[in-house]
Amino acid sequence: MKKKWIVVTGGSRGIGRAIVEKFTSNGFNAVVCGRNFPDLEALKDEIEQKQDVQVLIKSTDLAIKEEVKDFCEFVLKYIESPAVLVNNAGVFVPGAVHDEQEGVLEKMMKTNVYSAYHITRALLPAMKSAKQGHIFNMCSTASIIPYVNGGSYCITKFALLGFSKVLREELKETGIKVTAVLPGATHTDSWKGVDIPEERFMKPEDVAETVYGAYALSERAVIEEILMRPQLGDI
C-alpha cells in the first residue's frame, strides 16, 4: 500500500516533533523542516530506526522567504502531494506593543504567518489535483485572547487564525480540509526556564493525539477549530 505523506514545519521539537512521531507511528512518511539541522537528523534517525517509514529533512529558516521557497521546491521534488500539511513553525518574543524592540512584529509575522501563507499556496495546487488533503494551522489561545506581554505575538496569532478561517471557506468545495489548532500552555522550549511545575502544562503529545484524531475523521466531517487548555486553565 502506498504510504501517505505529512509535511510539518518546525517539526524537530515540541508540538511539531510530537505530531511527526504520531503520524509516522501510523505509517506516514514525513517531510520536516526546522532551523536546527542536528535536531532534524536526530529525529530522522530515531523514527527510521523504529518505523518502516521515510523522513525527509531540510534545514530552513522560515523567516526568510527564499528559504521558504526552497523548502516548498524540496517537498514537491520528492512527493506528489501531501495528505497532511501542518504549518506549525512559530517564534515567540515577549513584549508590549508600545515598547517592544523595533522589528519584532516583522520577525514574527514572517515566521508565524507569512511562512504558512507561502507554503500553503505552493502546495495547494498539488493537493487540489489530488482532490484531498488536510491543512492544520498551529494557532494559539493567543489567537482569541490578548494578554499582557503578548504584544506582536498575539497580533500574529490572530492573523493566523484569520488565514485559517478564510482558507476553510475557499477550500470547502475542493475536498481539502482546514483546521485551526489553538493550544494553551504546552510544555515546550518556549517555556524553558520558567518556575512553573511541568504538570501544570499540557504535553505536546496531547496536541499531537488531538490533531491525528481530527485527521482520522471521515471525509464527510471536518473539525474547523481545536481549542485546548491545561486542565487548570491558562497560565
CB neighbours of residue 158 within 10 Å: 18
Edge-first strand order for the sheet with 133-138 is: 55-59, 29-34, 5-9, 84-87, 133-138, 176-183, 225-228
Of 119, 93, 123, the closest CA to residue 106 belongs to 93
Q: What residues are annotated to the active site? A: 153
93, 143 contact by CB (below 8 A)? no
91, 13 contact by CB (below 8 A)? no
Residue 80 Cα distances to 106, 126, 166, 189, angstroms: 33, 7, 25, 33
Rounded distance between C-alpha atoms, residue 80 and residue 189, angstroms: 33
Q: Where are the alpha helices (DSSP H) in 4-136?
A: 14-24, 37-50, 65-78, 104-109, 115-130
181, 138 contact by CB (below 8 A)? yes
* Extended beta strands in the chain, E state: 5-9, 29-34, 55-59, 84-87, 133-138, 176-183, 225-228
CB neighbours of residue 207 within 10 Å: 25
